[in-house]
A = this chain, B = another copy of it.
Amino acid sequence: MSKRVRMGMVGGGEGAFIGAIHRMAAALDGEIELVAGCFSSDPARGRATAARLGLPADRAYASYRDLVLGEAARPAGERMEFVSVVTPNDLHLPAATEALRGGFHVLSDKPAARSLEETISLRAVVHETGLVYGLTHTYAAYPMVRQAREMVCGGELGAVRRVTVAYPQGWLASADDAGGKQASWRTDPARSGESGCFADIGTHAHNLVEFVTGSRITEVCADLRSVVDGRLLDDDGAALFRLENSARGTLTASQVCAGEGNNLSISVYGEKGALSWQQEDPNRLQLRRRGGPLETYVAGADCAYLAPEARALCRTPQGHPEGYIEAFANIYRDFADRVRRARTGEPADASGASGGIEAGVRGMAFVRGALESSRNHSSWVSLRPLWEEPATD
């Protein structure tokens, strides 16, 4: 069977920034072929996108239900093998559920669903179908974040004591900014869910902490609010947190920091040294070892001093920078690999480099915990009971 994996897409029509990124990421390594899609809730617009992408008209579907049914009816060697869900948040759950129940693997934009309960119900479907499910926690797929994980989990810092993660953005800094397509649904509770900023980017920060430390956040004490007049969901907040491994930390997420782009950063402090990484300068990872010079690890497929897991995520030799699209492509490449293994009946590793459904549930448990804490004068909320809660529907 061909090495190429066949993909269908839900969402990602004209004007959707993230849909185009998903397609570039899927195309980059030549391992994935886009064969079908339902690109818009407006069928005519969806067909136009399909045509522009060179898809035959009969594989441009009017709904995700049609996509699943239509592709399922095609011969095995031709039909799509997985669905990439790149819609606004409210459709993540129904589209993913439909695809999984129809027998297709799913790679979904995050968050997995609008709420903790929805995500838990999705977890049940994933477990029941046994199919591959992935979430695009993009930042965990950068080579130097992987390097950080290998170093922290490998004990290079000794016991972790403190973690600082911050994610200031500025694109929702004023009511005027909220006019675009993306902004409108992100600030609408019916489409985004119960949280705005913390669900949208707080989950990235949460995932980054857990991915790099290899430990889970078990308690949160948060202070969230909505800064811009008339906004119904949180657009700014911060939290204290505690990890299983006894480390403590702070997490800041805000979308009203005018002037900021996408300034995610993390620092991990241990008993033997400290690591720092900034998403806007992603090819460098700084390590301060006790009593030594500052070390900067630089991405590169030829950097023998990097962990093999990090090098495997590099396409270029040292000094040829890679970026956000390549990180995204790492998720797609990894997902394609898992789909290929599933072809032959190999067990699909549910976690994946990009985070699977369990990471998704924990992310939404974190959001729920932060909201609860914030409503209760920043009292500490335990997260484990939330993520261990059985599905309710």
Contacts and interface: CB of A to CB of B under 8 A. Distances in A.
A322 B319 contact: no
Given A30-B27, A290-B258, A324-B322, A166 B164 contact: yes
A162 B254 contact: yes
A69 B288 CA distance: 49
Interface residues of A, number: 91
Contact of A321 (B250, B280, B288): B280
A379 B380 CA distance: 9
Contacts of A325: 28, 315-316, 322, 325-326
Contacts of A122: none
A323 B314 CA distance: 12
| Top 10 A-B pairs, shortest CB-CB distance | A261-B319, A262-B319, A259-B288, A321-B323, A261-B318, A257-B269, A294-B296, A320-B324, A259-B273, A258-B290
Given A24-B28, A221-B240, A280-B283, 8 more contacts: A21-B316, A30-B53, A168-B267, A221-B221, A263-B319, A294-B296, A325-B325, A378-B379
16 contacts: A20-B315, A27-B30, A28-B325, A162-B257, A168-B274, A169-B319, A170-B288, A170-B290, A173-B290, A221-B378, A240-B240, A257-B274, A258-B272, A259-B273, A293-B298, A295-B295
